[in-house]
Amino acid sequence: MHETFAHRDRSPDKRYEWERACEIFHSRYNELAFPGGFEGALDRIVAGDPESMEAAICFLEVRPYFFRSGYMFESILRRAKRAPLSQEQVARLQHVIQALAAWRSERSAANGA
């Protein structure tokens, strides 16, 4: 998408290439954003699906940066707090929560709040 974006206004063909790249991205986003697809992932997390729960904890630990990942992080974190977790997952989630609190505190201090 980024490559075609820069050239989209040069010709109708370039515009079409960019539009097609956008269509492909959006059609694949759900599957690329979260293992098993982000659509339905929050329900799978709360239901305690082991693969979804592990993917959620990993996502929170790694905190990837991509289109809408911040929104996904907050949504996954809220659901993970209510999900059935193993002791190991509880410890890992607590570490994520503590790191997030420290990051927010540092950011707030840096902004003079």
The model's pTM is 0.78
Amino acid at 102: A
Distance from C-alpha of 19 to C-alpha of 67, rounded to nearest angstrom: 17
- At what angle are helices 87-110 and 69-82 packed, to 10 degrees? 130
Distance from C-alpha of 103 to C-alpha of 57, rounded to nearest angstrom: 18
Distance from C-alpha of 60 to C-alpha of 47, rounded to nearest angstrom: 18
- Is the Cβ–Cβ distance between 56 and 36 less than 8 Å? no
Q: What is the pLDDT of residues 67-88, one digit of tens each?
A: 899 999 999 999 999 999 999 9
Q: What is the pLDDT of residue 92?
A: 97
Q: What is the pLDDT of residue 44?
A: 96
For the chain, domain boundaries? 34-110
Residues of the chain where predicted confidence (pLDDT) is lower than 50: none
Q: How many CB atoms lie within 10 A of CB 29?
A: 16
Q: What is the pLDDT of residue 113?
A: 60
